[in-house]
Amino acid sequence: MESIFNFTEQQLQDDLVAKGFKKYLARQLYDWIYGKNIYSFDEMTNISKSDRDKLKTIYQINFFEIVTQQVSKDGTVKFLFKLPDGFKIETVLMRQSYGNSVCVTTQVGCNMGCGFCASGLLKKTRNLTTAEIVTQVVMVNNYLQASHERVSHLVVMGIGEPFDNFENVINFVNIVNEPKGYQIGARHITISTCGLVPKIIAFANLQTQVNLAISLHAPNDEIRNQLMPINKAFPIAKLMEAVKYYLAKTNRRVTFEYILINDVNDSIENAKELANLIKGMNAYVNLIPYNKVEENPYERSTHINEFFDTLQKHKINCIVRREFGHDIDAACGQLRAKNEGIIRR
């Protein structure tokens, strides 16, 4: 049976009509599931019993098993979920001043091989389905019910490269953005990519209001080749061409993510290079203190303030990202890798 979380309202309506149901049933189901947080067909009382019985033979509404649930002193909650086929993924709830933000995973493992990242310690096994990405948000919303809260913002930058699972990620965004669903505004959703140039172009052509973040992490090819193998396929010049195309096509600001790694990419000269690379763009830089992963050789930068000040002196909009869950397994993929025995406990 197919998961009911796999469909936008229109897709569900089309599927229901093809199976002999009335088209208004899609709206009823959306209201029960995403509006009222009801996950049993038997409890959907405005749907006839015959339709409910038939729906149970066609669609499933399944949650994942929670393997581990870590709660930080700052309120961050990190979930390790077990999928029906036994693979494990991470999802993170971050409590912000403006609402509840959830970071979702899009792949089982990652093939991008970024040298500083715990996600890449376990190679990609498969893409997540649309439903598996949606289910992460459903489960966090279910967790928040006890405190009468909801998910208000989404970042698609958990385990995996989102644009390597492009169609399912875009369908996921459309589902959580549905007016009759969770109604998470497109401008409250951010998708991060390490730089898959053709998919950046494809995303630009969709002309959505969804935010784009580029995991840059280096101001030149020499350093980026060392940190991010994807740069050998799409070096910085090609990446910047794609970013400029996105900016021209969408008139939307882009974010550059930049993890500061001690004595690798965090010098004053590196900051000046970065400023020259992106000057004049409608962009800002999100500076990220590195979360140490024992199996990687890198250390947290001791030059964060100097780097930040240099960018500001060169008129680059930038922030140092607030850290979430630093007292738990904060690095992306770290909890899963520990659970699998890839990272030492």
Residues annotated catalytic, as ranges: 90, 332
The label of the residue with tokens 């149901």 reads: 21
Polymer length of the chain: 345
> Do the bridges between strand 77-82 and strand 65-71 make them parallel or antiparallel, or are there none, so unpaired?
antiparallel
Sign of the CA dihedral with 175 first, then 178, 180, and 184 last: positive
Helix spans in the chain (H):
9-18, 24-30, 49-58, 130-144, 166-176, 197-206, 221-227, 230-233, 236-250, 268-278, 304-313, 334-339
The label of the residue with tokens 């520990």 reads: 338
d(CA 149, CA 166) in angstroms, rounded, equals: 30
341: Cα separation from own chain's centroid:
24
Host H or E run for residue 107:
strand 107-108
- Crossing angle of helices 166-176/130-144, nearest 10°? 40
Q: Residue type at 59?
A: Y
Do residues 77 and 146 make contact, with C-beta atoms less than 8 angstroms apart? no
Closest CA to 300 of 337, 263, 271: 263
In sequence order, what DSSP letters do the residues of 25-61 get, joined into one string? HHHHHHIIIIIS----GGG-TTS-HHHHHHHHHHEE-
d(CA 83, CA 80) in angstroms, rounded, equals: 10
Do residues 268 and 306 make contact, with C-beta atoms less than 8 angstroms apart? yes
